[in-house]
Amino acid sequence: MNFDDTPQEAAFRAEARAWIQANAPKQYEEELRKSSLGRTVLKGANILEVAKAWQKKKADAGWACLHWPKEYGGRGASPIERVIWQQEEGPFGKLSAMFIIGHGMCGPTMMAFAGEEQKRKYLPPLASGEKIWCQLFSEPAGGSDVAGLRTRAERRGDDWIINGQKIWTSGAHYSDYGILLTRTDPTVPKHKGLTMFFLDMKSPGVEVRPIKQASGQSDFNEVYFTDVKIPDSQRLGAVNDGWNVSLTTLMNERMSIGAGVATGFPELFEFCNSLMLEDGPAIEDRNVRSRLANYAVKASGLRYTSMRAISALSKGERPGPENSIGKLVAGSMVQEVAMYALDLQGAAGVLSGPEDAEVAGKFQAMLLRAPGTRVEGGTDEIMRNIIAERVLGLPGDIRVDKDVPFNQIPTKGRG
C-alpha cells in the first residue's frame, strides 16, 4: 500500500508536467480553476473553440485519449498513467467536458463493433476533438427503462430509415456524430428488437432542439428524426442485438473513472472557513463542524474508493458495477451541500445574483442544478438496483413486460 510513483510513473509525470507547463492555455487557468461544477464559462472566449484547440494540441503531441490504442489516436497508456495525466492537467481538464461522452462511450463502442476501416477513419478525429460525438439512447418513453425506446429503424435496401425522438442528449447541438439505439423489431420482447447505429448528425431529417431545464439553463437537447437515412454499413453489431452493444457502451462508462466525482465538499469547506455567523466564525460552530465532518468523510471515502478502483484496474481487473456508488453518493450530496450552504446564509441565501449572493451565487446555482445530477446517467434508484443486483446478488425486479412483444406492452397508466 503506497502512493509513491514507480520510477516509470515518475518519469511519465515529469514528462506530462513539462509538456503541460509549456503548452497549456495559461490565460484561462484562473477562470477554469474558479469555475463551478459542470458549468465552465470563459469571459470573452468561445469555450468550444478553446476546448477544441487544447484537445488538438494534446492529440498532435500524443496526449489525447491516453488509454486508446495509438493507431486510433490514443497513446496506449496504463490506467495509472491516465490518472497521473489528470492530476497534472488540473484545471485544464475542465476543457475536456464536451469530449467525455465521445471518448468514454462512443469511441469504445466503435472500437468494439465498427469495421477496421471505419475505426481508422472516425476515431482519430474523435480523439483529437476535431469531431464531437453524442450518445442518442434516452427517449421520452425510455429513460430508466431505456429498452422501452420507440425510435424506429426500418430497412430499405442498403439503408435504414429512422423516425422518432430522443431526449436528454448532451451536446447534440455541437456534435458531428452520434451513436443511436433504435427499435428494429416491435413484435418481439423489448430487449430483443433493438439495433445500434452511428450517424452523421448533419444528415437530412435530424433536428436538434435545446431543452430548457428546470435550472433555467440548456445543457441538453431533444433530437428529432424524420425519415433520416443511415447506410447499413453504419450499423454497430448484429440486427436486433443492440441491447448487448449498448451494454458495452455502458460498461465503458464505468471505465471512465479517475477524475472523481464532484461532491461540493471542497467548496463548502472553503466557504465555512471564511463565513462569519452572529456568534463567530462558522467553522467554530458545533453544528457546522458536525455537518462538515459528515460530508468530509463521504468525500474522502469516494476519493479513496476511486483510487482503489484504479489500483484494481491497473492490475488488470475489470471495473465492476461497484463504481456506481460514486454517482449515487455524490449526486445527493451535492444537493444537500447546496441546501446547507444556503441555510448558513440565512434569509439572504435566497438571493442568487452574483453581486448579492455569497461566493457569486455558486451554491444557489448548485442547488438548482442538483436535481439533474440525481437523474442523469442513471437515477439514484437505478444505481441502487445495480448495486443490489450485480454486487450483492439480489434477485432482479419482476419484469412483467419481459416476455411480452414490445407492441403489446401498455403505454398509458391511468385511462
Partner 1 sequence: MNFDFSDEQKQMRDEARKFLAEKCPSKAVREVLDGKAPYDKELWKGLAEMGFLGVAIPEEFGGAGAGHLELCVIAEEMGRANAPVPFSSTVYLAAEALLLAGSDAQKRKWLPKIASGEAIGTLALFEGKGNPSPKAIKLQASGGTLSGVKKPVPDGAIADFAVVAARTGSTGRDADISLFLVDLKAGGVEAKPLTNIDPTRGQAELTFKNAKAEPLGATGEGWSILTQVLDRAAVLLAFEQVGGSDRALEMGRDYALDRIAFGRPIGSFQAVKHMLADMYVSATLARSNCYYGAWALSTNAAELPEAAAAARISATQAFQHCSKNNIQVHGGMGFTWEFDCHMYYRRANATALTLGSLSYWEDQLIDRMRRKNAA
Footprint on this chain of partner 1 (rule: CB under 8 A) = 1-5, 9, 80, 83, 269, 273, 283, 286, 289-290, 292-294, 296-298, 300-305, 307-308, 310-312, 314-315, 322, 325, 328-329, 381, 383-385, 387-389, 391-398
Between 190 and 298, CB nearer to partner 1? 298
Distance CA 75, CA 12 (A): 12
Nine-digit cell string for 173: 447541438
Between 232 and 397, CB nearer to partner 1? 397
Distance CA 208, CA 213 (A): 15
To the nearest whole angstrom, how small is the minimum distance from the Cβ of residue 409 to partner 1?
Answer: 20
Alpha helices in 28-99 (DSSP H): 29-34, 47-60, 79-89
To the nearest whole angstrom, how small is the minimum distance from the Cβ of residue 262 to partner 1?
Answer: 16
Between 94 and 327, CB nearer to partner 1? 327
Which helix (H) or strand (E) element contains residue 181? strand 177-183
To the nearest whole angstrom, how small is the minimum distance from the Cβ of residue 73 to partner 1?
Answer: 26
From the list 18, 122, 130, 123, the residue with the least C-alpha distance to 67 is 123
To the nearest whole angstrom, how small is the minimum distance from the Cβ of residue 341 to partner 1?
Answer: 16
Q: Other CB atoms closer than 10 Å to residue 197's CB: what's the count? A: 25
Between 286 and 412, CB nearer to partner 1? 286
- Name every residue whose Cβ is closer than 8 Å to that of residue 200 and which is 6 or more positions away in sequence: 176, 177
Between 158 and 403, CB nearer to partner 1? 403
From the list 137, 136, 135, the residue with the least C-alpha distance to 147 is 137
Q: Is 324 exposed, middle or buried (0-12, 13-18, 19+ CB in 10 A)?
A: buried
Between 1 and 347, CB nearer to partner 1? 1
Between 217 and 314, CB nearer to partner 1? 314
Nine-digit cell string for 101: 461522452
To the nearest whole angstrom, how small is the minimum distance from the Cβ of residue 398 to partner 1?
Answer: 7
Per the CB < 8 A criterion, the answer to whether 185 and 240 are in contact is yes
Between 238 and 293, CB nearer to partner 1? 293
Nine-digit cell string for 406: 414490445
To the nearest whole angstrom, how small is the minimum distance from the Cβ of residue 345 to partner 1?
Answer: 20
To the nearest whole angstrom, how small is the minimum distance from the Cβ of residue 200 to partner 1?
Answer: 40
Give 295-298's long-range contacts (Cβ < 8 A, gap of 24+): 295/263, 295/264, 295/265, 295/268, 295/333, 295/336, 295/337, 296/265, 296/269, 298/263, 298/265, 298/329, 298/333
To the nearest whole angstrom, how small is the minimum distance from the Cβ of residue 290 to partner 1?
Answer: 5
Between 352 and 385, CB nearer to partner 1? 385
Distance CA 66, CA 37 (A): 24
Between 393 and 410, CB nearer to partner 1? 393
From the list 321, 314, 308, the residue with the least C-alpha distance to 387 is 321
To the nearest whole angstrom, how small is the minimum distance from the Cβ of residue 90 to partner 1?
Answer: 18
To the nearest whole angstrom, how small is the minimum distance from the Cβ of residue 83 to partner 1?
Answer: 8
